[in-house]
Amino acid sequence: MEKGGKMISVVIPCYNAEMFVGQAIESVFNQTFKDFEVVVVDDASTDKSPEAINWGQMFRRNVRYVRNEENLGIGGTRARGVKEARGEYLCFLSADDLFMPNYLEEMLKHADRKSFLFSDYFVINVGGEIISLFRAPEFKSYEDFVINSVVQARNNTMSVCYNLFGPTKLFKENNFDETLRFGEDLEHLLRCMLVKRIKFKHVPLPLFKYRMHSGMVTQQQRIQKISENNQRIFQKINKLLGRKVI
Protein backbone atom coordinates (compact mmCIF):
# COMPACT_ATOMS: atom_id res chain seq x y z
CA MET A 1 0.00 0.00 0.00
CA GLU A 2 1.30 3.46 -0.87
CA LYS A 3 2.11 5.80 1.99
CA GLY A 4 -1.12 7.41 3.15
CA GLY A 5 -3.19 5.07 1.02
CA LYS A 6 -6.38 3.29 2.04
CA MET A 7 -6.96 -0.46 2.15
CA ILE A 8 -9.33 -0.37 -0.86
CA SER A 9 -9.48 1.98 -3.84
CA VAL A 10 -12.98 2.24 -5.30
CA VAL A 11 -12.64 3.42 -8.91
CA ILE A 12 -15.73 4.97 -10.51
CA PRO A 13 -15.44 5.56 -14.27
CA CYS A 14 -17.84 8.35 -15.20
CA TYR A 15 -19.16 9.75 -18.45
CA ASN A 16 -22.26 12.01 -18.55
CA ALA A 17 -23.67 10.41 -15.41
CA GLU A 18 -24.93 13.52 -13.60
CA MET A 19 -28.16 11.74 -12.64
CA PHE A 20 -26.44 8.85 -10.90
CA VAL A 21 -22.81 9.44 -9.95
CA GLY A 22 -23.66 11.17 -6.66
CA GLN A 23 -25.73 8.13 -5.63
CA ALA A 24 -22.88 5.81 -6.60
CA ILE A 25 -20.44 7.75 -4.40
CA GLU A 26 -22.93 7.76 -1.53
CA SER A 27 -23.32 3.97 -1.78
CA VAL A 28 -19.57 3.69 -1.14
CA PHE A 29 -19.79 5.87 1.96
CA ASN A 30 -22.61 3.67 3.23
CA GLN A 31 -20.28 0.66 3.37
CA THR A 32 -19.84 -1.34 6.56
CA PHE A 33 -16.08 -1.41 5.79
CA LYS A 34 -14.67 2.11 6.02
CA ASP A 35 -10.97 1.99 5.06
CA PHE A 36 -11.24 3.13 1.44
CA GLU A 37 -10.65 5.92 -1.02
CA VAL A 38 -12.91 6.86 -3.92
CA VAL A 39 -11.31 7.70 -7.27
CA VAL A 40 -13.73 9.14 -9.82
CA VAL A 41 -12.34 9.21 -13.36
CA ASP A 42 -14.37 11.59 -15.50
CA ASP A 43 -14.06 10.76 -19.20
CA ALA A 44 -14.45 14.38 -20.36
CA SER A 45 -18.17 14.54 -19.52
CA THR A 46 -20.19 17.24 -21.28
CA ASP A 47 -23.03 17.31 -18.72
CA LYS A 48 -22.98 18.39 -15.05
CA SER A 49 -21.19 15.27 -13.79
CA PRO A 50 -18.24 17.35 -12.46
CA GLU A 51 -20.58 19.35 -10.22
CA ALA A 52 -22.16 16.15 -8.88
CA ILE A 53 -18.71 14.71 -8.20
CA ASN A 54 -17.41 17.87 -6.58
CA TRP A 55 -20.21 17.66 -4.01
CA GLY A 56 -18.53 14.48 -2.82
CA GLN A 57 -15.13 16.18 -2.78
CA MET A 58 -16.43 19.04 -0.69
CA PHE A 59 -17.86 16.89 2.09
CA ARG A 60 -15.73 13.73 1.88
CA ARG A 61 -11.99 14.13 2.15
CA ASN A 62 -11.10 10.82 0.53
CA VAL A 63 -12.83 11.39 -2.81
CA ARG A 64 -10.36 12.12 -5.60
CA TYR A 65 -11.57 13.51 -8.92
CA VAL A 66 -9.48 13.16 -12.06
CA ARG A 67 -10.61 14.16 -15.53
CA ASN A 68 -9.44 12.96 -18.93
CA GLU A 69 -8.43 15.83 -21.19
CA GLU A 70 -10.34 14.17 -24.03
CA ASN A 71 -12.92 11.41 -24.22
CA LEU A 72 -11.01 8.10 -24.21
CA GLY A 73 -13.83 5.58 -23.89
CA ILE A 74 -14.20 3.07 -21.07
CA GLY A 75 -10.93 1.23 -21.79
CA GLY A 76 -8.75 4.28 -21.30
CA THR A 77 -10.86 5.48 -18.37
CA ARG A 78 -10.59 2.17 -16.50
CA ALA A 79 -6.86 2.05 -17.22
CA ARG A 80 -6.36 5.51 -15.75
CA GLY A 81 -8.33 4.53 -12.67
CA VAL A 82 -5.98 1.59 -12.13
CA LYS A 83 -2.95 3.88 -12.48
CA GLU A 84 -4.43 6.38 -9.99
CA ALA A 85 -5.34 3.78 -7.33
CA ARG A 86 -3.30 3.81 -4.11
CA GLY A 87 -5.03 1.12 -2.07
CA GLU A 88 -3.93 -2.44 -1.41
CA TYR A 89 -7.06 -3.68 -3.19
CA LEU A 90 -9.02 -2.12 -6.02
CA CYS A 91 -12.61 -2.47 -7.14
CA PHE A 92 -14.75 -0.86 -9.82
CA LEU A 93 -18.19 0.67 -9.50
CA SER A 94 -19.98 1.94 -12.60
CA ALA A 95 -21.22 5.51 -12.15
CA ASP A 96 -24.85 4.42 -12.62
CA ASP A 97 -24.65 1.40 -10.27
CA LEU A 98 -24.85 1.11 -6.49
CA PHE A 99 -22.93 -0.99 -3.97
CA MET A 100 -24.88 -2.94 -1.39
CA PRO A 101 -23.68 -1.84 2.09
CA ASN A 102 -21.69 -5.07 2.60
CA TYR A 103 -19.93 -5.13 -0.80
CA LEU A 104 -16.44 -4.20 0.40
CA GLU A 105 -16.66 -6.28 3.58
CA GLU A 106 -17.75 -9.45 1.78
CA MET A 107 -15.32 -9.10 -1.11
CA LEU A 108 -12.42 -8.56 1.27
CA LYS A 109 -13.37 -11.78 3.11
CA HIS A 110 -12.98 -13.77 -0.12
CA ALA A 111 -9.96 -11.92 -1.52
CA ASP A 112 -6.53 -13.39 -2.13
CA ARG A 113 -3.37 -12.10 -3.84
CA LYS A 114 -3.77 -13.96 -7.13
CA SER A 115 -7.44 -13.70 -8.15
CA PHE A 116 -10.06 -11.30 -9.44
CA LEU A 117 -13.47 -11.53 -7.74
CA PHE A 118 -16.94 -10.97 -9.16
CA SER A 119 -20.34 -11.24 -7.49
CA ASP A 120 -24.03 -11.66 -8.21
CA TYR A 121 -26.18 -8.53 -8.40
CA PHE A 122 -29.64 -7.04 -8.43
CA VAL A 123 -30.91 -5.41 -11.63
CA ILE A 124 -32.63 -2.07 -11.02
CA ASN A 125 -34.48 0.40 -13.22
CA VAL A 126 -33.73 4.09 -13.70
CA GLY A 127 -35.55 4.91 -10.45
CA GLY A 128 -33.60 2.37 -8.42
CA GLU A 129 -36.37 -0.23 -8.07
CA ILE A 130 -35.23 -3.86 -8.15
CA ILE A 131 -36.35 -5.66 -11.33
CA SER A 132 -34.59 -8.98 -10.95
CA LEU A 133 -31.69 -10.88 -9.41
CA PHE A 134 -28.79 -12.13 -11.52
CA ARG A 135 -26.87 -15.12 -10.21
CA ALA A 136 -23.78 -16.16 -12.12
CA PRO A 137 -23.78 -19.86 -13.04
CA GLU A 138 -21.82 -22.31 -10.91
CA PHE A 139 -19.51 -24.88 -12.51
CA LYS A 140 -18.07 -28.21 -11.41
CA SER A 141 -14.54 -27.04 -12.11
CA TYR A 142 -12.62 -23.92 -13.01
CA GLU A 143 -11.89 -25.46 -16.40
CA ASP A 144 -15.65 -25.59 -17.03
CA PHE A 145 -15.87 -21.90 -16.11
CA VAL A 146 -13.15 -21.05 -18.62
CA ILE A 147 -14.81 -23.11 -21.38
CA ASN A 148 -18.18 -21.50 -20.68
CA SER A 149 -16.64 -18.00 -20.72
CA VAL A 150 -15.15 -18.69 -24.15
CA VAL A 151 -18.48 -20.02 -25.46
CA GLN A 152 -20.26 -16.93 -24.13
CA ALA A 153 -17.66 -14.65 -25.71
CA ARG A 154 -18.31 -16.24 -29.10
CA ASN A 155 -21.99 -15.40 -28.58
CA ASN A 156 -21.12 -11.80 -27.59
CA THR A 157 -22.19 -12.28 -23.96
CA MET A 158 -20.55 -12.47 -20.51
CA SER A 159 -21.63 -13.73 -17.09
CA VAL A 160 -18.89 -11.77 -15.28
CA CYS A 161 -20.05 -8.22 -14.57
CA TYR A 162 -17.01 -5.97 -14.33
CA ASN A 163 -17.65 -4.32 -11.00
CA LEU A 164 -14.54 -6.38 -10.30
CA PHE A 165 -12.48 -6.67 -7.07
CA GLY A 166 -8.85 -7.69 -6.69
CA PRO A 167 -5.34 -6.76 -5.53
CA THR A 168 -4.27 -3.40 -6.95
CA LYS A 169 -0.88 -4.88 -7.86
CA LEU A 170 -2.61 -7.53 -9.98
CA PHE A 171 -4.66 -4.86 -11.78
CA LYS A 172 -1.58 -2.71 -12.40
CA GLU A 173 0.31 -5.69 -13.84
CA ASN A 174 -2.72 -6.55 -16.01
CA ASN A 175 -4.29 -3.22 -16.86
CA PHE A 176 -7.09 -2.58 -19.35
CA ASP A 177 -6.54 -2.03 -23.07
CA GLU A 178 -6.60 1.75 -23.45
CA THR A 179 -7.40 1.54 -27.17
CA LEU A 180 -10.82 -0.07 -26.62
CA ARG A 181 -13.71 2.36 -26.41
CA PHE A 182 -15.94 -0.56 -25.39
CA GLY A 183 -15.49 -4.30 -24.91
CA GLU A 184 -12.58 -3.65 -22.56
CA ASP A 185 -14.12 -6.00 -19.97
CA LEU A 186 -14.26 -8.95 -22.38
CA GLU A 187 -10.70 -8.33 -23.57
CA HIS A 188 -9.45 -8.12 -19.98
CA LEU A 189 -11.30 -11.29 -18.95
CA LEU A 190 -9.98 -13.34 -21.89
CA ARG A 191 -6.41 -12.01 -21.65
CA CYS A 192 -6.14 -12.54 -17.91
CA MET A 193 -7.91 -15.91 -17.94
CA LEU A 194 -6.39 -17.49 -21.08
CA VAL A 195 -3.02 -15.77 -21.50
CA LYS A 196 -1.99 -14.93 -17.93
CA ARG A 197 -3.83 -17.85 -16.26
CA ILE A 198 -5.25 -15.59 -13.55
CA LYS A 199 -8.24 -17.03 -11.70
CA PHE A 200 -11.64 -15.38 -11.49
CA LYS A 201 -13.57 -16.26 -8.34
CA HIS A 202 -17.34 -16.04 -8.00
CA VAL A 203 -18.70 -14.65 -4.72
CA PRO A 204 -22.27 -16.04 -4.69
CA LEU A 205 -23.95 -13.05 -3.08
CA PRO A 206 -25.85 -10.12 -4.69
CA LEU A 207 -23.49 -7.33 -3.65
CA PHE A 208 -24.38 -4.47 -5.98
CA LYS A 209 -27.24 -3.03 -8.00
CA TYR A 210 -26.83 -2.90 -11.77
CA ARG A 211 -28.91 -0.13 -13.30
CA MET A 212 -30.64 -0.56 -16.66
CA HIS A 213 -31.51 2.67 -18.48
CA SER A 214 -31.69 4.11 -21.98
CA GLY A 215 -28.44 6.08 -21.68
CA MET A 216 -26.20 3.07 -21.12
CA VAL A 217 -23.18 2.99 -23.45
CA THR A 218 -23.63 -0.74 -24.05
CA GLN A 219 -27.19 -0.14 -25.27
CA GLN A 220 -26.02 2.61 -27.58
CA GLN A 221 -23.59 0.31 -29.38
CA ARG A 222 -25.10 -1.55 -32.32
CA ILE A 223 -24.97 -5.34 -32.29
CA GLN A 224 -22.88 -5.35 -35.45
CA LYS A 225 -20.28 -3.02 -33.92
CA ILE A 226 -20.06 -5.19 -30.79
CA SER A 227 -19.55 -8.31 -32.91
CA GLU A 228 -16.87 -6.66 -35.04
CA ASN A 229 -15.10 -5.32 -31.95
CA ASN A 230 -15.18 -8.77 -30.33
CA GLN A 231 -13.66 -10.36 -33.44
CA ARG A 232 -10.72 -7.97 -33.16
CA ILE A 233 -10.37 -8.90 -29.49
CA PHE A 234 -10.37 -12.63 -30.38
CA GLN A 235 -7.64 -12.05 -32.96
CA LYS A 236 -5.52 -10.27 -30.35
CA ILE A 237 -5.95 -13.06 -27.79
CA ASN A 238 -5.17 -15.77 -30.34
CA LYS A 239 -2.03 -13.87 -31.38
CA LEU A 240 -0.90 -13.61 -27.76
CA LEU A 241 -1.48 -17.36 -27.31
CA GLY A 242 0.19 -18.25 -30.58
CA ARG A 243 -2.75 -20.41 -31.63
CA LYS A 244 -6.47 -20.13 -32.31
CA VAL A 245 -8.40 -20.70 -29.10
CA ILE A 246 -11.33 -18.37 -29.59
Is 246 domain-assigned?
no
pLDDT at 221: 52
Q: How far is CA 83 from CA 38, 78, 205, 224, in A?
A: 13, 9, 29, 32
For 110-162, what is the HEC assignment?
HCCCCEEEEEEEEEECCCCCEEEEECCCCCCCHHHHHHHHHHHHHCCCCCCCC
pLDDT tens digits for range 71-99: 999 999 999 999 999 999 999 999 999 99
Is the pLDDT score of 134 beyond 80?
Answer: yes
How far separated are the first and last CA of the chain, in Å rounded? 37
Is 199 domain-assigned?
yes
Under DSSP, the state recorded for 214 is T
Q: The pTM is what? A: 0.93
pLDDT at 204: 97
pLDDT tens digits for range 42-65: 999 999 999 888 776 666 668 999
Number of domains in the chain: 1
Task: Say which CATH number the domain at 14 has.
Answer: 3.90.550.10
Residue numbers of the domain that contains 49: 8-241
Residue 22: HSE in the Cβ half-sphere, 13 Å Cα cutoff: 12
- What's the mean pLDDT when you consider all of the chain? 92
Is the pLDDT score of 146 beyond 60?
Answer: yes
Is 29 domain-assigned?
yes
Q: How far is CA 77 from CA 115, 127, 148, 161, 213, in A?
A: 22, 26, 28, 17, 21
Q: What is the CA radius of gyration of the chain?
A: 17
pLDDT tens digits for range 179-224: 999 999 999 999 999 999 999 999 999 999 999 977 655 545 567 7
How many Å apart are CA 219 and CA 213, to the nearest integer?
A: 9
